[in-house]
Amino acid sequence: MKSPHPRTDKGVYRPTGIDGLDAVLHGGFPSGATVLLAGSSGTGKTILCLQWLFCGYEEFGEPGMYISMTEPVAKALKNAATLSFFRQDYVDPLKIHFTDLRTVMKGMNAEDRDLTRADIAKVVEVVRNMAVQSGAKRVVLDSVTAMAYRLRDRDLIRDFIFQLGTMLGQIDVNVILTSEVSGDGYGVFGVEEFISDGILKLSYVDAAEERVRQLEAVKMRGTTFNPHPAMYRITENGIKIYPYMHRELQAAVSEERVSTGISGLDEMVSGGWFKGSATLLTGASGTGKTIIALHAVAKALKEGKKCLYVSLEESREQLIKNTGSFGWDLPAFEKSGLLRIMALYPEQRYLDEHYMEIKRIVEEGGAEIAVIDSLTALGNMFPEQLVRDFAARMVTLFKAYLVTSLFTHASEALLGASGISEAHLSSLFDNIVMLRFVEVRSALRRGILIVKMRGSMHDDALREFVFTPEGVRISADFSGYEGVMRGESRKTSETIEERLRALLIGIFGPRGQAILEREKARGLTLDGTRALLKELSDQGALSARRKEEFLREIEDVAGR
Amino acid sequence: MTTRHTRAYLVTLALWTAYAALNFLTPTTENNALGLSPVSLALIRVSIVVPYLLAWLAGTYGALTLFDAAKSMPEKEDRSAFRQIAMGILILLGGVIVTSFVSGIRSYMMPSGRDVSSFVIVINYLYVFVPLAGFFYIFNGAGRLRGAPGTELSAAWAICGTALLLLFSALYVWLIFTNPTRQTSSDPKIAPSYFLPDAAIVLTIVIPFLATCVLALLAILRLLRYYRGVTGFLYKRSSLHLMYGLLGVITGSLLLQALLSLGSGRLLGLGLGPLLLVIYVFLIVQTLGYVFVALGARKLAAVERVMAKYEKPAS
């Protein structure tokens, strides 16, 4: 990955070659720096070191040296061989030299006793000589903790690190000292961090459902770095770090409107969302957030716009099946390259992995409409603060590229008040659409409300919406009821539906009820009834005068 | 218009043509019962035969269209009800056509002095048993029609109906048994009305006819109840037309029986003016009845056709 702070002075900075780490370090380690790599057991310190050595030789032709203090070289090599960056032919004293410091100490007859200051000088000298002989530019001492236990004295530890760092630094060698720690510190004796030029801390963070590994650059003398913890993953390819990408307040703006894909909703928002705006669709599970978001996608696809759909809850197949019932052929749009569906479970990637992948697609011009469905799925996996931060960065990214974005978020309450403020999401978005179930006469109906729309007039009424074979239709508001927002609707007067029912039964008899049900399924547009009256008149069952009278009555009832 | 409809109209037209031909081919002499000139007689015949065509065509259209409407109805019970009513109308119309035709033959044969007794007997039975069958169907069908709950007719309707029926029955029986030419006629220009003994008249004419009257009255009351109970402007409007039509057809049919019970002698004794008035009233009532049936059936069929198309699930 390219660093956001590229260095030009390559003589001074030495890129690590590890994906994402150079971005965190704004280019790499300062040449000759001694870096303390602290972390608890299992965080991947050894792997990071080995990767640094092999990448150094592979990419930069820099020989390296791995000095083991904790396990035999053969075992270290065996473990390293399972990783894809490992090359057996690089295991060579003039390429990457593996050595066991305990062997050196054995030669000094110091294997069974505490080391003295003189021993330290000898060890450092031996290491220096080996580095000079092999031409190493990268040296790993794994681990300094094991060495420290042999030294016992804090001054001796300080001396050892200082001498090693100074001696190797003089010959332009970078050193990584691994340190086994638990908790907040960086070294067992608390002196290691003061002597080192830089500190990288590897740790676990408890997320909602799993432990997430993160790397934090704590200190790096003589250079800038990204202090924000970066998540990383250990894979067969080694360690992959996802540096935290800062957002910048540089949003492009447009007066152009983008259709929501639902004519009634377009009317509610004065013609559509602003291009490049971010919309939050919030509502209880099953209220229709995904379907409403998909309407915008379907409409954009039909207009030949590129769309990105990130589904974190439903599989690609499920999405295709659900939308197929509306006659939308998503596979065809995928095939044509207009639609890209990223369907994966939240735990499959870290937030920054999601961010980087989406960013790549957006930067390549692969999306004019983007949907993140849903933030709630991420919230189930990662801490709320991280999800909010992720959402903020996504919004900024989309705005920068004028991508009209829709985010879905499930509120916990089935009826009544929404939980949009719970996740502190509301301020991030330009538009907030609240979907909710409304209980009316013991039946569960769906309501849609535009809570907020920056820079635009919008309908303030809570309107009913229904699913029809053609898609979502917005219908009448809940006039005649009060308490609908609280989910406790109470009838205050005769509703439009009741008046329509009475009128239709007055015209069509018992069949009026079935006609009303059909109209409701079509969103109470009453187009079907108008057509029916016209046809009855044309067929001689109804005089033209009566037809006009009934049409007027229907329009009156519907309030149009 | 379907092939079935076209064929039915052509048959009706053919029957009417034959009936008209029989009427006009019947020899006209100065020596007729009313002493009319052949021209006057021909004019009167025209004024009677032409409305018949309108009534027959309207009746055919009404019955067939009601069958069509019934076929499109979603409820099985409604389908069955309207099918039976349509069948009743078709039987009544068929009876009118056949009896008119046989009467025409009888009239054609009368001046030649040939024996017309068998024709008279057949015509009388046709006049009685065909309406009995027709009203039975209408009564049965009307009983299956479902109105809104709580629309049962009040007792006043039943009392009025029964009183009317008793009055009409008494009048009918009195007219028959005071008819001097019910069995024999001394005037060769006037044929006896029944050619049957009194006992046979009571058993085979009077009782079946009174049964017909009961069925007709009950059918009307059932239709009235349906009309009052049916909801929806479209259905109320078409059922109103149908009810008016059936009322006309039933009244016309009963009026015809009443006229027949008078006997030819008393009818001719009324004089030309009153006689023509009675005949035209009968014709108007019957024709209007069939026309209203046709109008109601047309509206109902159109409603059912459009609704069936609307309710048909999208493929």
Considering only CB atoms, B302 lies closest to which of A511, A514, A539, namely A539
Decide which of B230 and A110 is more confident. Answer: B230
CA distance B141 to B78: 9
In a domain, A408, yes or no: yes
| A535 Cβ under 8 Å from any chain B Cβ | yes
**Does residue B92 carry a pLDDT above 50?**
yes
- Is residue B249 within 8 Å of residue B92, measured between CB atoms? yes
pLDDT (mean) for A356-378: 89
- Coil, helix or strand for A40? coil
CA distance A261 to A118: 79
Q: Do A510 and B302 touch (CB under 8 A)?
A: no
From A211, A242, A273, give the residue that closes a domain.
Answer: A242
CA distance A218 to A109: 38
**Does residue B124 carry a pLDDT above 90?**
no
Q: How many CB atoms lie within 10 A of CB B107?
A: 18
Contacts of residues B179-187 at CB distance under 8 Å and 24 or more positions apart, as own/partner, are B179/B261, B179/B262, B179/B263, B179/B265, B179/B266, B180/B263, B180/B265, B180/B266, B181/B263, B181/B264, B181/B265, B182/B263, B185/B264, B185/B265, B187/B33, B187/B265
| A61 Cβ under 8 Å from any chain B Cβ | no
Chain A: nearest CA to B242, how far in angstroms? 14
Burial B31-66 (b: 16+ CB within 10 A, else e): ebeeebeeeebeebbeebbebbbbbbbbbbbbbbbb
Q: What is the domain count for chain B? A: 1
CA distance A297 to A307: 6
In a domain, A465, yes or no: no
- Is residue A369 within 8 Å of residue A407, measured between CB atoms? no
Question: CA nearest A538 in B: which residue?
Answer: B302
Query: Helices in A171-207 by DSSP H: which ranges?
Result: 192-195
A184 plus A311 within the same structural domain: no
Considering only CB atoms, A507 lies closest to which of B230, B234, B302, namely B234
**Does residue A535 carry a pLDDT above 50?**
yes
Per this entry, what is the length of chain B? 315
Instruction: Choose, out of A325, A326, A536, the residue to mutate when testing the contact with B (most B CBs < 10 Å).
Output: A536
Structure token pair of residue B265: 């002698």
From A216, A242, A268, give the residue that closes a domain.
Answer: A242
Decide which of A444 and A61 is more confident. Answer: A61
Question: CA nearest B313 in A: which residue?
Answer: A518
Instruction: Identify the CATH number of the domain in which residue A397 sits.
Output: 3.40.50.300
Residues B56-78: pLDDT tens digits? 999 999 999 999 888 888 888 88
Cα B181 off chain centre by: 25
Half-sphere exposure of B117 (CA within 13 A, CB side): 9
Question: CA nearest A504 in B: which residue?
Answer: B232
Q: Which of A491-500, B84-93, B96-105: highest mean pLDDT?
A: B84-93
pLDDT (mean) for B23-31: 66
A172 plus A282 within the same structural domain: no
| A536 Cβ under 8 Å from any chain B Cβ | yes
Residues A117-147: pLDDT tens digits? 888 888 888 888 888 988 999 999 988 888 8
**Does residue B31 carry a pLDDT above 60?**
no
Structure token pair of residue A555: 């329009």
- Segments forming the whole domain that contains residue B81: 3-311
A45 plus A108 within the same structural domain: yes
pLDDT score of A2: 43
Instruction: Choose, out of B228, B230, B234, the residue to mutate when testing the contact with A (most A CBs < 10 Å).
Output: B234
In a domain, A472, yes or no: no
Please name every residue paired with A16 in a beta bridge, in sequence order, or none if there are none.
none
Question: What share of chain A in percent tops pLDDT 90?
Answer: 24
Q: What is the domain count for chain A? A: 3
Q: With contacts defined as CB-CB under 8 Å, which chain A residues touch B302?
A: 536, 539-541
In a domain, A372, yes or no: yes
A335 plus A426 within the same structural domain: yes
Confidence band of B198 (pLDDT split at 50, 70, 90): confident
CA distance B274 to A474: 71
- Is residue A201 within 8 Å of residue A212, measured between CB atoms? no
A396 plus A341 within the same structural domain: yes
Query: What letter does residue A415 receive in the DSSP assignment?
Result: B
- Is residue A50 within 8 Å of residue A86, measured between CB atoms? yes
pLDDT score of B275: 81
Question: CA nearest A533 in B: which residue?
Answer: B306
A523 plus A414 within the same structural domain: no
Residues A214-262: pLDDT tens digits? 899 998 888 888 888 888 888 888 888 888 776 665 667 788 899 999 9
Residue A457: φ, ψ to 5°? -70, 150
From A425, A456, A487, give the residue that closes a domain.
Answer: A456
For the ranges A26-35, A179-188, A535-544, which has the lowest average pLDDT? A179-188
The H or E element that residue B56 is part of is helix B38-72
- Segments forming the whole domain that contains residue A175: 13-242
Per this entry, what is the length of chain A? 560
- Coil, helix or strand for A264? helix
Decide which of A157 and B36 is more confident. Answer: A157
Q: With contacts defined as CB-CB under 8 Å, which chain A residues touch B306?
A: 532, 535-536, 539, 541
In a domain, A475, yes or no: no
A82 plus A225 within the same structural domain: yes
Confidence band of A4 (pLDDT split at 50, 70, 90): very low
A238 plus A272 within the same structural domain: no
- Is residue A497 within 8 Å of residue A520, measured between CB atoms? yes
CA distance A304 to B62: 57
Q: Do A540 and B299 touch (CB under 8 A)?
A: yes
CA distance A391 to B284: 85
- Pick from B153, B40, B16: which is nearest to B97 by CA? B16
For the ranges A5-9, A45-49, A392-396, B189-193, which has the lowest average pLDDT? A5-9
Instruction: Choose, out of A535, A537, A547, the residue to mutate when testing the contact with B (most B CBs < 10 Å).
Output: A535
**Does residue A420 carry a pLDDT above 50?**
no
Sort residue A524 into left (φ over 0), alpha (ψ -120 to 50) or beta. left
| B235 Cβ under 8 Å from any chain A Cβ | yes
Q: With contacts defined as CB-CB under 8 Å, which chain A residues touch B312?
A: none
Structure token pair of residue A158: 């300080």
Q: Do B303 and A514 touch (CB under 8 A)?
A: no
Q: With contacts defined as CB-CB under 8 Å, which chain B residues touch A511?
A: 232, 307, 311
Amino acid at A414: L
pLDDT score of A388: 85
Q: What is the mean pLDDT of chain A?
A: 83
Please name every residue paired with A233 in a beta bridge, in sequence order, or none if there are none.
A240
Q: Which residues contact B55 (CB under 8 A, 6 or more apart)?
A: B96, B283, B286, B287, B289, B290, B291
Residue A18: φ, ψ to 5°? -90, 130
Q: Do A509 and B302 touch (CB under 8 A)?
A: no
A236 plus A263 within the same structural domain: no
**Does residue B285 carry a pLDDT above 50?**
yes
Tell me whether the omega of the peptide bond preceding residue A374 falls within 30 degrees of 0, making it cis.
Answer: yes
**Does residue B251 carry a pLDDT above 70?**
yes
**Does residue A1 carry a pLDDT above 50?**
no
A404 plus A326 within the same structural domain: yes
Question: What share of chain B in percent tops pLDDT 70?
Answer: 88
Label the pairing between strands A13-14 and A29-30: antiparallel
Decide which of A7 and A93 is more confident. Answer: A93
A94 plus A196 within the same structural domain: yes
In a domain, A49, yes or no: yes
Question: What share of chain A in percent tops pLDDT 70?
Answer: 89
| A545 Cβ under 8 Å from any chain B Cβ | no
Our CA angle for A209, A394, A316, nearest 5°, is 65
C-alpha dihedral sign at A412, A414, A416, A418: positive
pLDDT score of A492: 54
Query: What letter does residue A357 receive in the DSSP assignment?
Result: H
Decide which of A525 and B111 is more confident. Answer: A525
Confidence band of A415 (pLDDT split at 50, 70, 90): low
Label the pairing between strands A339-343 and A404-410: unpaired
For the ranges A31-40, A281-290, A480-489, B231-240, which has the lowest average pLDDT? A480-489
* Radius of gyration, alpha carbons of chain A: 33
| B69 Cβ under 8 Å from any chain A Cβ | no
Q: Do A511 and B232 touch (CB under 8 A)?
A: yes
Decide which of A290 and A149 is more confident. Answer: A290
Our CA angle for A350, A356, A359, nearest 5°, is 140
Q: Do B306 and A539 touch (CB under 8 A)?
A: yes
Tell me whether the omega of the peptide bond preceding residue B154 falls within 30 degrees of 0, making it cis.
Answer: no
CA distance A529 to A522: 11
Q: Do A536 and B306 touch (CB under 8 A)?
A: yes
Considering only CB atoms, A505 lies closest to which of B231, B298, B311, namely B231
**Does residue B314 carry a pLDDT above 80?**
no
- Pick from B121, B102, B117: which is nearest to B191 by CA? B117
Cα A508 off chain centre by: 55
A307 plus A213 within the same structural domain: no
- Pick from A436, A473, A430, A467: which is nearest to A257 by CA? A430
Residues A318-342: pLDDT tens digits? 888 888 888 888 999 999 999 999 9
End-to-end CA distance of chain B: 27
Q: Which of A101-110, B4-13, B171-180: highest mean pLDDT?
A: B4-13
